[in-house]
A and B are shown apart, each in its own frame.
Chain A
């Protein structure tokens, strides 16, 4: 299973964190620190896998953002890499030409998409279409109640 997924920028700024097991805040902070230093120190064209304690770390850089996945030792590294890629595809499909700012401004959306895709450290739905459809469906639900409060946001 996957233990965590982290998104951070080239400067080491954390953009998204998802933990699939319960951990204390201290442990989380330590992992975040270790991951950013380890991954950012990697040379270009290195392989995308690392061993860290009893976990396999699979990471990939997309433009300015690093996607970093910690999986248990019996997991398949290559597919973990493709989980990252599928997530990026999903973000891209939703935001259209996704960039780091989309994830900052719409962090809650990034979480919702991730929740549709992964759950409890396992992949829930591998079909891009189905995930997109359910995200769209929830957007439709949101639209229903936009009218009530949207104006407030713009001027408030």
Chain B
């Protein structure tokens, strides 16, 4: 159906003068208006070509019947719909029959008729009707040498031929002729057609031809632009077919082209290619910086028509900034400072008063600004720029333009992940919370939720969770489930006391029970079972919550499970005596679905074990017809079995069978997995483990496992694990073994080990003695499938058994693979994970070094002070110790160092060393063949504040109490090193026959990173 204005104007077009009314649209009122106006009548003398207008007008007329009294502005109300749809279909079918007969007719059609009919077919298709003929005629048209016919032919093919048509060969022939014609207009049509269709056959036919057109000296500018973008399209669809190599340099040099249109198109092409092969296009960085610098410093009139509403070449600037985001900050100092100048200029310009009141001016200016901020965040190396960016975004948070508020919230999410700006982002918390409450637009509120989630850490978790909970009560239904997941994750991650956690989750169920997925309530039960300090509180709280007259079924599930396990903890109080508990649960029974009833039946049998006094009551319930003869097989079976069990089993057997649930094994939070799945793997930058490790305050995955308290480490310590070493750098080339994230895993077990444009690989691992299990998560970041996916692990020293994986990963999906690892004896080489898959026809090979080091097989050992000294002194032989002096990259924080040492795997021994500033640790490395004890000592040297200061030799250092027991040579090394380097020292000793495993200690030493001011000393003895 056609809209009414259309018809009115159609009918009135003869009587009205040109230049009709503008419908006042507030959104469009700035700048240009798109007017509701009569169209031009195709009258003789009009020089613009009109094809099939009569037909279109007839179609419009059958859609709606006109009410002659209606005025233009009163809109549609006074019109009656005619037999619109049927009339339209009837008219179209008639026309299709007509065209078909013309095409099949004996008389050869002339070019014009052919064009007219093809155009009509196109129009009918665009109305949403199927067209299954006319392709041949279209191909004839595009082979014509009349421009208009050619143009319509190409348009039809672009719109209507999908990429696997048989006609492609014929079309290719036409394109080939046009490309060879040297007529720029024809060449452009041909290139557009290739880019529009973009099929593999076309790539095969033209992939080698187009680069030649692109770099040929005599090619017209407009053809160059088309060729660049055409090549880009082919590279995206069939990267394997587009030859790289000899023309790379010449393409990069297009960045110097005189014509800004050519530069813009070339930048798009280079950016896409550089994302795939950054090394090949490295030279583009300096050219891009130079070009950008010329644009930002140019007066706005210099660039003539490339100035858009007083902003100099905004599209090109943004594209250049995007290209630079494919690379780390330039190493060359001059280039780097030039780039920093550019970025500063852009930030400064944002503060200048606007040169125009038009929204286009501010949009274009801010577009460049946001892209510059994206680059600053990507580089993550200039704290001043980061903080300026953050302040700028802070201003936008309260801007009157909704668009800017939206974008500011979005950009801040990524800014929150930088350690330099995380704190600065947190200062805007109140504004963001306010946005959550007052924004009228749901998509802006959603961004506010995302940002709150990203800026959350231990210091503000309680407030943020409370705000999100209160927002949840009024939140839009579309985003409730996501908020529930986020609240659940934050509550768990930052739970300092678990009573708060339990309260939060129960509140969540109360407020938005329908949106609480299984994962969330499973998780609360796992946590309650694994933490005995919270069990009594949980039982009390669910008991109270269940007393509400209407409670959500999810609450009944949690209540049933928890009371069944821990009801005894509150049974002492007469208000929650066993019978009261049972009656309370049973009062909900009849309102629940079958799975919940089944769960409640299990809770009842647990009650029989916990409280013998209610046995008779419960047996009566189980014996009733509604249970024993329940229509549902599962319920009936449970009732029968539980009843029999309670009758025949002795108390002892009952107690054994119905014992309290054992703690759940350590595992990834399924909630997090669910949120990732919901958002798509690439969509959660804020939740990446790497972000937490960078921002310097928490380690997300560690706290998940820690919540289960399976690690001996105290939760506050484990949460302080910080990988100060980690830095974000561009992904490595795919065929080399990727090691860049490897060092991050020395002290932690979970995180992202590899990431490129297509794939993200995350790891969760756990180790017990000489055995380890690693969960590998493959996230498909694209929207297309990965086919023939396979993976294998090669290892020279370890026994690694990997479970088979599904060969297909859907777009946006994540797949898990489990690796079982056995440490046979000491080893030095980490295993390598080899991955192969097909993406868009191209075979991808990725190899990643898996972070399995010897220290993963440490078991912490507690030891008394005296014991420790004695053993330490016994291990004095040269091959028994390794030591290293090193510079501290960052100020040494006690909590951080503790967390690192714990993450390293040894036990941290408190009160052993007389100097409280020192750290000592002990552990046993477990291998299948042997076990090796290991002692470790870390000495921060706070005196060595200046890089080249004459620090005292260790023997006289009061913080070094073991000096007397160490061999002289050792001391010599210490003092010499300190003399030479001035400020760093790490030591390690070892008894093992081979010395390579001592590398472990150096691994530890090298990631306790020095900053040139604080000196630390680490000793590891084995």
Contact = CB atoms under 8 A, between A and B. Distances in A.
Interface string B231-264: 0110011000000000000000000000011001
Interface in A77-116: 77-79, 81-82, 85-86, 88-89, 91-92, 95, 97-102, 104-109, 111-112, 115
A74 B685 CA distance: 13
B198 A22 contact: yes
B403 A47 contact: yes
B128 A62 contact: no
B105 interface: no
A54 B403 contact: no
B222 interface: yes
Given A46-B440, A97-B19, A51 B35 contact: no
Interface in A32-46: 43-46
Interface hub of B1, B5, B232 (most chain A Cβ within 10 A): B5
Contacts of A95: 39-40
B444 interface: yes
- Could you say which interface size class chain B belongs to? 35 or more
B443 A11 contact: no
Given A51-B446, A126-B264, A119 B367 contact: no
Closest 4 CB pairs of A and B: A62-B34, A149-B112, A120-B233, A78-B367
Given A54-B783, A123-B315, A88 B34 contact: yes
Contacts of B10: 101
B116 interface: yes
B146 A145 contact: yes
Contacts of B60: 104
Contacts of B128: 14
B280 interface: no
Contact of A127 (B5, B44, B53, B260): B260
A139 to B, nearest CB: 7
B661 to A, nearest CB: 40
A122 B33 CA distance: 25
B32 A60 contact: no
B308 A11 contact: no
Contacts of B199: 22
A1 B267 CA distance: 12
Contacts of B151: 108, 112, 138
B588 to A, nearest CB: 38
A123 B402 contact: no
Interface of A: 1, 9-11, 13-14, 16-17, 20-22, 24-25, 43-51, 53-54, 60-65, 73-74, 76-79, 81-82, 85-86, 88-89, 91-92, 95, 97-102, 104-109, 111-112, 115, 119-130, 134, 137-139, 141-146, 148-150, 152-154
B27 A64 contact: no
Interface stretch (B358-366, B567-575, B982-990): B358-366
B261 A119 contact: no
A13 B60 CA distance: 13
28 contacts: A13-B2, A17-B126, A22-B237, A25-B162, A45-B441, A46-B440, A47-B403, A47-B443, A49-B406, A61-B28, A62-B34, A64-B36, A79-B364, A85-B31, A88-B32, A89-B32, A99-B38, A102-B40, A104-B6, A106-B50, A108-B119, A111-B159, A122-B268, A124-B225, A126-B306, A137-B185, A139-B47, A153-B53
A122 B232 contact: yes
B606 interface: no
A141 B316 CA distance: 31
Given A119-B226, A120-B233, A126-B261, A138 B39 contact: no
A150 to B, nearest CB: 8
A4 to B, nearest CB: 12
B493 interface: no
B25 interface: yes
A97 to B, nearest CB: 5
A62 B18 CA distance: 19
Contacts of A119: 191-192, 195, 225-226, 229-230, 233, 265
B396 to A, nearest CB: 11
Contacts of B402: 45-47
Given A63-B22, A76-B370, A141 B50 contact: no
Given A127-B305, A138-B185, 19 more contacts: A11-B4, A49-B407, A64-B23, A65-B34, A73-B682, A74-B322, A82-B360, A99-B34, A105-B50, A105-B53, A106-B39, A112-B151, A119-B226, A125-B225, A130-B305, A138-B151, A146-B47, A153-B116, A154-B42
B712 interface: no
A62 B28 CA distance: 5
Given A82-B308, A153-B116, A47 B405 contact: yes
A146 B146 CA distance: 11
A138 B444 CA distance: 44
Contacts of B6: 9, 100-101, 104
A91 to B, nearest CB: 8
Contacts of A20: 233
Contacts of B1: 11, 13
B443 A107 contact: no
Given A99-B35, A108-B119, A141-B185, A79 B261 contact: no
Contact of A99 (B20, B50, B222): B20
A128 B39 contact: no
Contacts of A142: 49, 147-148
B229 A61 contact: no
A105 B56 contact: yes
Given A63-B33, A148-B112, A77 B264 contact: no
Contacts of A45: 26-27, 402, 440-441
B854 interface: no
Nearest to B369: A78
Contacts of B49: 139, 142-143, 146, 150
Given A97-B20, A119-B230, A138-B151, A76 B36 contact: no
Contacts of B27: 44-45, 48, 60-61
B141 to A, nearest CB: 12
A78 B308 contact: no
A108 B120 CA distance: 11
A149 to B, nearest CB: 3
A86 to B, nearest CB: 8
A82 to B, nearest CB: 5
B48 interface: yes
B198 A124 contact: no
B229 A108 contact: no
B422 interface: no
A101 to B, nearest CB: 4
Interface hub of A20, A63, A95 (most chain B Cβ within 10 A): A63
B9 A101 contact: yes
Contacts of B313: 126
A124 B112 contact: no
Contacts of B680: 53-54
B676 to A, nearest CB: 13
Interface string B265-299: 10010001000000000000000000000000000
Contacts of A77: 367, 403, 407
Nearest to A149: B112
A98 B35 contact: yes
A55 to B, nearest CB: 9
A64 B5 contact: yes
A50 B407 CA distance: 11
A85 B229 contact: no
Contacts of A144: 147
Nearest to A25: B162
B163 interface: yes
Contacts of B226: 119, 124
Contacts of A47: 402-403, 405-406, 441, 443-444
Interface in B151-209: 151-152, 155, 159, 162-163, 185, 191-192, 195-199
B318 interface: yes
B123 interface: yes
A97 B37 contact: yes
B51 interface: yes
